[in-house]
Amino acid sequence: MMRLTALLLVVAAVSGCSWQQAYSSAQGWQRNQCNRLVDETERERCLANANMTYEEYRSRSEGKRE
């Protein structure tokens, strides 16, 4: 999750796009990384996180801050 957050920051800063657009772009990258995992259980868990909507991501990340 930390890598995804860092990637989102870089993408948003470089392209000047919205956070939601950056998140969407990063999802494709994360899915590719998930598909490289050999263990099926780990791959499925990774893909579940990669397929999370931006709204779900925001909700979870805001909940962790509290």
What does pLDDT average to in each consecutive run of 10 residues of the chain (66 residues)? 69 66 86 95 94 87 72
pTM score of the predicted model:
0.59
Q: Which tokens go with 8?
A: 């989102």
Rounded Cα distance, 19 and 11, in Å: 9
Closest among 38, 60, 65 to 49, alpha carbons compared: 60
Q: Where are the alpha helices (DSSP H) in the chain?
A: 2-15, 19-35, 40-50, 54-65
pLDDT at residue 33 in the model: 94
pLDDT at residue 8 in the model: 66
